[in-house]
Amino acid sequence: MSRYIFVTGGVVSSLGKGVSAASLGALLQSRGYSVHVRKFDPYLNVDPGTMSPLQHGEVYVTNDGFETDLDLGYYERFLGVKLSRTDSVSGGRIYWDVLNAERHGDYLGATVQMIPHVTNKIKEYIGRPTNTDFVICEIGGTVGDIEGTIFLESIRQFANDVGRKSVMFAHLTLAPYLEQSGELKTKPTQMSVRRLLESGIQADILFVRSPRMLTDEERVKIGMFCNLPAANVITSMNVDNIYKIPLVYDSQHVFDIIAAHFGLPDVAGYMAKFTKIEKYLAADLPTCTIGVVGKYFDVSDAYKSLNEALFHAGIQNNVHVKIKKINAEKFSPDDCKDVDGILIPGGFGTRGVDGKIAAAGYAREHNIPFMGICLGMQVSVIEFMRNVCGVRDANSSEFSEKCTPVVGIMSDCDTGNMGGTLRLGAYPCEIKSGSLAEKIYGTSHISERHRHRYEVDIKYKDLLEKHGMVISGLSPDGKLPEMIEIPSHKFFIAGQFHPEFQSNPFTGHPMFNAFIAAASKK
Ligand code: GLN
C-alpha cells in the first residue's frame, strides 16, 4: 500500500504549496522511492478549463486531455510523473459526482449528506490505487476557507481509515518579517496550525516560508506552540529559482524526518539533478534573447510552461535565456532588432493576430531562428500563404469569415474535435524522413499535447511545399498538418501542439533545445 503525504497551507495563499509538494517528491525519488501526486482544489468549478487565465494563470493540459491547474505542470516537470484527469480534482467535480449519483438513485433512498457522501467521494479520489510508494496530495486554498473544510475532514478520516502511520501531514505557513522591529513573527503560524487542529489534524512537519533561515530559538518556539518537535520545523526560504527548493529542504534533512515518521531506513540521496541547476544559475554564461510575441503578459503565469521550457533549453545549451516580451497588439519590426530568436506562442481570438503574422514574416525574411507553437504555427502558415504563395486573403476562419481559410475547423477529420470543440491532450504525429523535425527529435514517431480548435488545411500542402514550406509532421491518418518547417531558412519550425507541456529541467525538450541552440549560434 502507498504511503500518503498531505500538503496543506495556511496564513496566506500563494506560498508555493505546489513547489513544496513537488520538492518532497524529489527528495523521495532521490532515495529510490516512486511517487505520485494529486491536487485537490476546493473551489466549485467542475474543472479549471473554463477559468480565466487572467485569474488563474495558464491552463495546463495532461496527456489524457484534461485542462488543469498549472500546479500539475510543476509536478510533471519536477518528478517526471504523468498525471491524468483523476489527479486534479475540484470541489465542483466532487459535488457534481455526488449529485449525479443521487439523481441516478445510487444512494438507495438515503439522505445524502456532506458526511459521509461527499467525504467518501473525496476519499475515493485520494485513495485511487497508483502502484507507487508514496502519494503526495496537495489540498488547494488556505486552512480556514469555508469550501476547504470538507477536504480537511476527508483527509482526517482518511488517516484514520488507513492508519496514522501511513499518513503524514505537512503544513506550509508564513513567518512574516517586521522591518521595524527586525523580527520574524511566528504567531500566524501558530494560529494556522491551531486552525488545522480544529479539524482534527496535527501537522507532523511544518514548512515555514520566510525571508531568512529560522533560528533554533524560533524553531523551538514554533515547535512548542504547534505541538511538534523543533526538528520538524523547516524553513522554506525565499529563493530566486524554484529548483533550489528541493536543495533547501534536503539541507535541513527533510527526508530523514519523513523516513522517521514512516519508519523507513534513513538512506542517503543524491540531489545531483538539482545541484546541476543550481550551478547553472550561478554560472557566468552568455545570454540568448528570445522575443516572445504574445498578448497575455499582464498576467504572471499565463505563459508558465513556455517560460519554463525556454529556461530548461538554456540549461541544456549553457546559455542564460532572456525573454523579451513583445506585445503582439503593438508589434513593430523594431521590436525584433535585438533578439536572437522569435517565438510565437499559442493564443485565442483576433486580438494581436496581425502583429503575430507580421512577426512570423519578419523572422522568415530576416533569417532569424523561429519557433511557432499552435497559433504560432497557424500564423506562420497564413503569412507564408499570403506573402510567398501569393494567396493574399489567406487567413484562419477563427479571424475572418471572408477569406481563403488555410486554417479552419476540420470536422471531417479524426480530430476528436466534434464540431468545433477543442482538440485536447496527446496525439501521435508522424515525422517526415530527412526533415529538421526528424533531426531534432531523433525519431519519426512522436506524441505531443494539443489544445486548439482550428487546423491547417491539408489541401494547401502542395502549394506550400512548392514554395518552400514543408509539412514535416502529420497525424497518422495524413489529414492534419502537425509540424511545418522552411528548409532554406536558418531555423524555422512550428508545431500545432504545445511542446512546452512536456519539457523538464533535466533534459529540456528537443524542439526548445534545438531552437535555443540555433538562436545562440552567432
Ligand atoms: N486559437 C487557435 C485554435 O483554436 C490556436 C490555439 C492555441 O494556440 N492554443 O486553433
Tens digit of pLDDT for each residue in 132-160? 999 999 999 999 999 999 999 999 999 99
CA-closest candidate to residue 43, choices 55, 54, 34, 31: 55
Task: List pLDDT tens digits, range 344-378.
Answer: 999 998 999 999 999 999 999 999 999 999 999 99
pLDDT score of 252: 96
Residue with the three cell numbers 494539443? 450
Is 80 exceeded by the pLDDT of residue 279?
yes
Is there an atom of ligand 1 within 6 Å of 361 CB?
no
**C-alpha angle 16/19/23, rounded to 5°?**
135
Task: List pLDDT tens digits, range 65-81.
Answer: 998 888 899 999 999 99
pLDDT score of 468: 97
pLDDT score of 59: 87
pLDDT score of 55: 73
Q: Residues 410-416: what's their mean pLDDT? A: 55
Give 182 or 276, the one with higher predicted confidence: 276
- Whole-number Å distance, alpha carbon 450 to ligand 1 midpoint, is 9
CB burial string 334-368: b at 16+ within 10 A, e below: ebbeebbbbbbbbbbeeebbebbbbbbbbbbeeeb
Is there an atom of ligand 1 within 6 Å of 409 CB?
no
Q: Residues 227-246: what's their mean pLDDT? A: 95
Is there an atom of ligand 1 within 6 Å of 347 CB?
yes
pLDDT score of 198: 95
- Reported as a pLDDT band with limits 50, 70 and 90, residue 411 is low
Is 80 exceeded by the pLDDT of residue 420?
no
Which residues carry out catalysis? 374, 498, 500
- Reported as a pLDDT band with limits 50, 70 and 90, residue 417 is very low
Which residue's C-alpha comes closest to atom 8 of ligand 1? Answer: 346
Cα–Cα distance between 482 and 495 in angstroms, integer? 6
**pTM for the whole thing?**
0.93
Is 60 exceeded by the pLDDT of residue 425?
yes
Cα–Cα distance between 172 and 13 in angstroms, integer? 10
- Whole-number Å distance, alpha carbon 459 to ligand 1 midpoint, is 20
Cβ-based neighbour number of residue 61 at 10 Å = 24
Pocket test for ligand 1, best of 59, 375, 501 (most atoms within 8 A of CB): 375
Q: Residues 231-252: what's their mean pLDDT? A: 95
Is there an atom of ligand 1 within 6 Å of 294 CB?
no
